[in-house]
Structure 1
Amino acid sequence: MLTGLQRAAFPLAIAQTLTWASLYYSFPALLPTWQAALGWSKSELSGAFTLALVVSAIAAPLAGSLIDRGYGRAVLAGGMVLGALLLVALPAVSEVWHFYLIWAGIGLAMSASLYEACFTVITRVIGSQARQVITVVTLLGGFAGTLAFPAAHLMAEAFGWQAAVRIFAAVVLFVSVPFAIFGLGCLRPFTETLEPVKPGTSGKIMAQPTFWMLGTAFCAIGLAHGAILTHLLFILQESGLSVWLAVVVVSMIGPMQVVGRVFMMLTAGRVSTFGVAIACYTLMIIATAALLATRLNIWMAFVFVAFHGAGYGVASIVRPVMTAELLGRQSFGAVFGMLAIPFMMGFALGPIAAALVSELAGYNTVIVGAGVILAVGLMAIIAARRMAPTNTDFHGVRRAEV
């Protein structure tokens, strides 16, 4: 049975799902089409997406700081509008640098409109209840890729890729933006009080060892996931899976993320966020062992996707909730924005690092390396919990502005 707060989260969940599908997943979904239509190499095109992720990471603290000042609604809706307008401009590109420039702008839009910004607003507004809403948002958001890939393919086949990106833009502009604004309004009855932000608070928080341990843990999960996910088709085929079976396995990652999030929702109140975080890293470490064993038994690929998908699925919830629990809500936007940098940088650089390592030492080394990195992340999350100050508080003296 869903609580009133969880039902109130659905408008935001719809907005996030459609925005992720349009601004993020549209790139990998249309990449083969662009390669054929524009005549640029896969590496040339992929570099634009890496740039978008880097820009998104760098801009995240700015978006967080604006949310801290009470501009959450404007940041979230503004980022969506900017992303939609840039998608409209995409069909006009004629040079590679045009393509890169537009995707750099979309990266800026991502920093203000996707999970990091959305979860920052949610956490500032409803504080200790944020885990419930974030779980619902990510539950539906797990289907963004499942929606984007077939939709992009069908639209590109029927109307051309130019029309496809314009349709994605229209969805963001006329569906995501209204739902995001309406969704934030739905959360108002559940608002918790929040102390006024004190000057220098974010700097003091970022100087704490807990902050750096969380940054290490988040970077580890982004790096490992980015490295494995991007090369997963190659890894599975090298392990003996047929092309179609490898595609089936990869396509199950999204649904398995949803399974992990459903389990987290069902155990809410019975399992702490720290316990969920430990399970998250442990599942992903076990998943790397299963992926290695796929060479011996191809069905271990399904064990991998179940554990990796479920583990990574709950990571999206763990990151903002764990940050608020260990570091408090004071200057949460700026602090969580800074913690988005190592996570997004890890995710952006993971594919490049995996490509280099695979060329030098093979994919087994990549898999083992990912497991070691996740083990470091697990130790970092344990250290963050032990080092955390004991006076973090969710409550304060004034109403949070969105």
Structure 2
Amino acid sequence: MSWFSGQAAAVWLLAFGQTLTYAGVYYAFPALLPDLQAATGWSVAELAFGPTLGFLVMAALTPFTGRWVDRGWGGEMLTYAPILAAVGVAGLGLAGSPLIWWAIWAVLGVAQACCLYESCFAFLTRRLGAEARGAITKVTLVAGFAGTLAFPLGDVLGRSLGGPGALIAFAGLMLLAVPINAHAVRSLRRMERAGGIAAEATPGVLRQAMRRPAFWAIAAVFGMIWLNHGILLTYVLMLFADRGAAAGMATLAAACIGPSQVLGRLVLLFQGARIGNARATVWSLVGVVCASVALLSAGWWPLLIFAFAALQGAGAGLLSILRPMLIVDILGRRGFGTISGAVAVAPILASAAAPSVGAGLLHLGGPELIYGFCLALGLGGLAIGIGLLRRG
């Protein structure tokens, strides 16, 4: 697929749409957490339960959205769900109580299930087949800058508008994704009609996949890594401050996570044929483990937070691409949307639990407990991943 063909142009458009959506619905909360706490007076646990609830709803719906993609509805979800997401983020800025905050996050869970990576990747895999890895990599190359956009923008908007006002501004930014996604979907569907790709009926395919230990091993690996990543990302500014970093240094390091994701994905894009999915997965898991070691060691040398940002960003960023590819390699392409949606329940539940688990760890043992817990998660994911890939 040429980088500048009509098909590639549609893929790049989806990439920009994902960047805007992720910046508002995923990264705005950690970027604005200190401002939101100051503006509302609510506890970290009360604020964090909102994203947790959103991810729980997302986890419940993702197996269904995978089936909807298999039946040909992926384009509708990518086109219209960002509208619901933008309205929800704006509503968060107007929430007057924790109860309303939580209710809006539940609605955002519906939007996230329909328009974030899972649905986008399933849509592209169904449409492009063997070319999907290159397309998915391109999407994540651009969308990897969502955090880079959100953290500095959140710092500026939080200072000038306060946390709630900044959320409304993020919502306006997210609306730009709607026409971008709509044009990309129309372009890909014109090619789809020309290619004669039909909706796929996959009765029983999920039951067959779930009988295989590899299904549960993949779910376990990505569940553990996404719990690790979710905790560290949610509390990244607090953890960097605990390691002795000044506010500006902490914001800069957090903003480096996105470019690190992009750098790792560029390596995969240009060297993927030589590296292979299995080897890239192992090295990505090693990177996540080394990131936790760097963060733990930053108490002696705060500049190591930049090493953490580089390793965590590259490791988690590569794994977000490799999960759909591993599912295809190990479990097959038939019924991919359905199987991928079911596997995704584990990492989505982990992301749901991450803010609340992190708040609990902070309460029980402070930042040191988070460092040790996240290192243990990385080591566990690495061990299971090596065992899975050795068995083929």
The Cα shift of 1:99 comes to 1.9
- Residues 192 and 26 of structure 1, relative CA distance in 2, 3 Å threshold: farther
**1:307 is aligned to 2:299:** no
Query: What's 2:184 paired with?
Result: 183
Query: What's 1:48 paired with?
Result: 50
Instruction: Deviation per CA, 1:345-375: give whole Å up to 9, x if none.
Output: 2223234334444554554453333233222
Query: What's 1:135 paired with?
Result: 137
**1:373 is aligned to 2:377:** yes
Query: What's 1:121 paired with?
Result: 123
Instruction: Deviation per CA, 1:42-73: give whole Å up to 9, x if none.
Output: 33222212211221122111211111111111
Aligned AA (2:322): V
Write the distance in 1 (CA, Å) between the matches of 2:250 and 2:67: 42
Query: What's 1:294 paired with?
Result: 298
Aligned residues of 2:328 and 2:336 also touching (Cα < 8 A): yes
- Residues 344 and 327 of structure 1, relative CA distance in 2, 3 Å threshold: same
Query: In structure 2, which of residues 323, 343, 348 is the aligned counterpart of residue 344 of structure 1?
Result: 348
Query: What's 2:68 paired with?
Result: 66
Write the distance in 1 (CA, Å) between the matches of 2:327 and 2:174: 29
Aligned residues of 1:84 and 1:170 also touching (Cα < 8 A): yes
- Residues 70 and 193 of structure 1, relative CA distance in 2, 3 Å threshold: closer
Aligned residues of 2:62 and 2:341 also touching (Cα < 8 A): yes
Write the distance in 2 (CA, Å) between the matches of 1:302 and 1:99: 33
Q: TM-score, normalising length from structure 2?
A: 0.88
The Cα shift of 1:214 comes to 0.3
Aligned AA (2:280): V
Aligned residues of 2:60 and 2:345 also touching (Cα < 8 A): yes
Structure 2: state its 5+ residue gaps: none
Query: In structure 2, which of residues 103, 108, 111 is the aligned counterpart of residue 109 of structure 1?
Result: 111
Query: What's 2:3 paired with?
Result: 2
Q: TM-score, normalising length from structure 1?
A: 0.86
- Residues 8 and 267 of structure 1, relative CA distance in 2, 3 Å threshold: farther
Write the distance in 1 (CA, Å) between the matches of 2:137 and 2:28: 24
- Residues 277 and 150 of structure 1, relative CA distance in 2, 3 Å threshold: same
Aligned residues of 1:213 and 1:381 also touching (Cα < 8 A): yes
Query: In structure 1, which of residues 28, 31, 34 is the aligned counterpart of residue 30 of structure 2?
Result: 28
Percent identity of the aligned residues? 34
Which deviates more from structure 2 when the two are superposed, residues 98-107 or residues 291-300? 291-300
Aligned residues of 1:228 and 1:351 also touching (Cα < 8 A): no
Q: Note the aligned Cα RMSD (angstroms).
A: 2.8
The Cα shift of 1:7 comes to 4.0
Query: In structure 2, which of residues 271, 276, 283 is the aligned counterpart of residue 267 of structure 1?
Result: 271
Query: In structure 1, which of residues 8, 13, 18 is the aligned counterpart of residue 20 of structure 2?
Result: 18
- Residues 353 and 193 of structure 1, relative CA distance in 2, 3 Å threshold: same
Query: What's 1:147 paired with?
Result: 149
Structure 1: state its 5+ residue gaps: 389-402
Query: What's 2:333 paired with?
Result: 329
Which deviates more from structure 2 when the two are superposed, residues 46-55 or residues 12-21? 46-55
Aligned residues of 1:240 and 1:295 also touching (Cα < 8 A): yes
Write the distance in 2 (CA, Å) between the matches of 1:172 and 1:236: 28
Write the distance in 1 (CA, Å) between the matches of 2:36 and 2:293: 36
Aligned residues of 1:6 and 1:132 also touching (Cα < 8 A): no
